Structure 1
């Protein structure tokens, strides 16, 4: 939350993803497409566009299924806990916060840690917060002083000489050190849960309550108990220092309540997970670990794919939110997306992972990589360049599929903006934000897809991979 001790906006308690933006967008788009369609021919652009603009339909259908699943999950959870008051659990919660420990990232880390101290203890009497840093990091003194403020905080210092068995580097290396330390301390038990958080991502009272309720439900679920869960990553407006990247990140909470809810909530997180607000049972995490080798730069996604292969049906989605910050600049936004694409492409070709899980990832990466040539603005420019204005598909039945893809894209930015505004200080969208976020969708498409293509090319060229830590807005 923007202020660690402040209650969330009242409207959040009643929030659930809406259908009407999706339905309205679909009707408008499909009507427009049929109105402007040329007589069906096989012109130079017809077949390429038929394939490229239809390609994301599986993601779209999955996302729509996720919307339905999210609405049902929120209703059922509210009904189960109606009249029971806030939840509290006797299971232990260990919050793991790895940080690069630079001076420019310290204020965001402090904000996040204070939110854990403010909101988690009432629901988790057995709480510990592990801040994980490399030995000799730049802001070590300031971080040590922060850790000394509460007995609930433990500072875990990773020795410079520490090496994993597989030579893992970057964030996964320090995460694996903390993981091995917990095993050494006999904390890899069924009644211990590990909450993985980024150093710029805080929690609110809703986060604590929904996690405690989830953990309590698993204690009585028997053989149906879940071992991994994830909620929704949101971006309060007051955390942002760049309006463009904040609006562009509207897509991320929408993905969580759509596509990620569909996969993780159905029990198998084949679409991956985020590195923050990732709740894992310690005994299960001990069987996987984080030692994925020197080329791993998206360790959260790799963990999810291994979990999917070993523990089918054992993941869940919960309605709690965490509160992060969008990249501080367009350059940081591009670097972030490029790293994701680079790392995910590597997982597609990682033969140690189960093939069926890699196939879904390959489909998603391909959708990302071809983004620059499927962008509406780019297609219009190409059609002018080749003097071919007919962008109709090869068959009429394709038009409803195109319209559904476009309507779902509009829904993601509309609904994501609605949720990001709801978690902000005033709890509402400003009058100009909805029309602007819709008009900028072609721009956001290029902001997402060009780095995706760059990351793919860097992997194909076998460029040395790097884990780029962007600036943390405060």
Structure 2
């Protein structure tokens, strides 16, 4: 047996038919009481909830506007009319909102994951880290091992790609854990930076076979039972069909809910967006909105066929760069059932800097990605629409003091856009409440009310990040503290 193969877990199946218990963690190493499997609460009502949420949000917005502006003020001068016409800035989210609604309505929470059978393929959880947050890395490594012991559906390795630093020796060791230490003088042919450099080093130096499947994890992204089952199901389907598509699923952000409730609520939109726009693009099989850098499931030889050596321009959002290169080369994408757990930022400053990096990185993808225009166009258009966010917020504030009657069609589309935004947050909130085990009606109602009340604050935060990117762009890759 080779060194690589030594200690690789043999597949076993946990539980049996009807096994529906999922364990939850509120901090590394602490197991809470088992709660009902996340999928059961959504069997019949997901689509109904989406429609109801959109309807109530639309009605609520009209009622609120009629209360705040009971008398429609007519513009009397050219300046008044010009200012009133500027209300079209509110329409920047109409197209993303519509596509997200289509994705959310087509989404189905799976009810079949407990029936997923073991597969023979080797699966490698690849964690990329600088090694500065050793506690987060160690927690993720331990969680990978623990979850695989509970749901052993495939042979696995945990592969940590880490910068050369003194802390490497303090991280967990085991037969199923491998370390790829990046030499300080390592450089790619195209001088790629940051995570792209690390991923390229892994492609060049990892000894895993070409037919192994990779699950990319950030240092704080941790697997769950449902995610492991979804990954096994996807790999079986892709191997049997021969399509070998890259996959991605939904991420949750509830792990530090008690410690950082405000920022956890702020990130619920990301889970909602996974069920919406990101699910929509994976139904199409094309990554028109980009790709998360974590929870990417891809076969090793497919990833190698593209690589990550995109140079400095492709080193800010290397995931989106890679996805477009894969699409142009004929690769396609798909949805993966089940959740993985992320962690929200720990400060508002990091939240803003994280979003600023995403905006700047996606803009670089739209401009510099070495693919045909048709592959860059959707990401470019979506990023340009995102650019309108701070101006929409500023216009809304000014409208309280200097506002006029809004054209009915503008008002209707603007309300639709914001209602879709509300729906993303509340959909993400429900999923995170379910996974965190908050089941009491009173507590869930309270969190829902807080989520709605804070929506203007979260909108302002998202818009501020874009304004920061426009007014004070930065070079480099800011690593947020988690």
Matches within 5 A, 1:94-113: 94-102=124-132, 105-113=133-141
- Closer/same/farther in 2, CA of residues 344 and 380 from structure 1, 3 Å limit: closer
Match of 1:339 in 2: 357
Q: Secondary structure at the match of 2:336?
A: strand
Provide the secondary structure at the position in 1 that maps to 2:436. Answer: coil
Residue 90 of structure 1 is matched in structure 2 by 120
- What is the CA distance between 1:427 and its match in structure 2? 4.8
Q: What 5-or-longer segments of structure 1 have no aligned partner?
A: none
Distance 1:30 1:309, change over 3 A: farther
Aligned partners of 2:359 and 2:469 also within 8 Å: yes
Correspondence 1:56-75 to 2 at 5 A? 56-71=93-108, 74=109
Shift of 1:30: 4.5
Aligned mate of 1:151, from 175, 181, 185: 175
Structure 1 residues 384 and 85: alpha-carbon distance in aligned structure 2, compared to 1, 3 A threshold: closer
Bigger relative CO (Cα 8 Å, ≥ 6 apart): 1
1:209 aligns with 2:229: yes
Report Cα offsets for 1:112-166 as digits up to 9, x if no partner: 111211223544432111011111x2522212xx0x2x20000111111211010
Q: 1:402-443, CA deviations, whole angstroms, 9 ceiling, x for partnerless residues?
A: 221111111111111111121114456544221121111111
2:456: which partner in 1? 442
The normalised TM-score by structure 2 is 0.85
Q: 1:194 offset after TM fit, Å?
A: 0.8
Pick one of 380, 390, 394 that aligns with 1:372: 390
Q: How far has the Cα of 1:34 moved from its partner? A: 7.5
Give the conservation status (yes or no) of the 8 Å contact 2:390–2:466: no
Correspondence 1:410-425 to 2 at 5 A: 410-425=422-437
Q: C-alpha separation between the residues in 2 aligned to 1:173 and 1:164?
A: 7
Alignment partners' CA distance in 2, 1:34 and 1:397:
16
Instruction: Confirm whether residue 168 of structure 1 aligns to residue 192 of structure 2.
Output: yes
Instruction: Tell me if structure 1 keeps the 8 A contact 2:438–2:444.
Output: no
Residue pair 2:256, 2:264 contacting (<8 A) in 1 also: no
2:319 is aligned, of 300, 317, 321, to 300
CA 1:469–1:54 in 2, change beyond 3 Å: closer, same or farther? same
Deviations 1:321-370 (A, max 9, x none): 11111101111111111111121111121152331232222222223222
Aligned to 2:84: 46
TM-score using structure 1 length = 0.86
Paired residues for 1:199-238 under 5 Å: 199-222=219-242, 225-238=243-256
**Helix, strand or coil for the counterpart of 1:241?**
coil
The structure-2 alpha-carbon separation of the partners of 1:23 and 1:123, relative to structure 1 and needing over 3 Å to count, comes to farther
Q: In the alignment, is the contact (CA less than 8 A) between 1:264 and 1:271 conserved in 2?
A: no
Answer yes or no: is the 8 Å Cα contact 1:93–1:124 preserved in 2: no
Structure 2 CA distance for partners of 1:87 and 1:30, relative to 1, 3 Å: farther
Q: In 1, distance between residues paired with 2:92 and 2:438?
A: 39
Structure 1 residue 245 corresponds to structure 2 residue 229: no
Take 2:122 and 2:359, find their aligned partners in 1: how far apart are those partners? 35
How many residue pairs get aligned? The number is 440
User: Hey, what does 1:29 align to over in structure 2?
Assistant: 61
Between the aligned partners of 1:117 and 1:454, the Cα distance in structure 2 is 40
Look up the match of 1:256.
274
Contact 1:335 1:451 in 2 (8 A): yes
2:213 pairs, out of 182, 193, 210, with 193
**2:159 equivalent to 1:130:** yes
**Residue pair 2:316, 2:476 contacting (<8 A) in 1 also:** yes
Q: 1:237 to 1:286 in 2, by over 3 A?
A: closer
Q: Distance in 2 between matches of 1:279 and 1:123?
A: 17
Q: Secondary structure at the match of 1:45?
A: helix
Distance 1:124 1:155 in 2: 23
After TM superposition, the structure 1 stretch with the greater mean CA deviation from structure 2, 289-298 or 57-66, is: 289-298
The Cα of 1:53 is off from its aligned counterpart by 1.2
1: CA distance between counterparts of 2:33 and 2:39?
11
Aligned 8 A contact 1:45 1:391 in 2: no
SS of match in other structure, 1:258: helix
- Determine the C-alpha separation between the residues in 2 that align with 1:61 and 1:431: 27
Kept in 1, the 8 Å contact 2:84–2:403? The answer is no
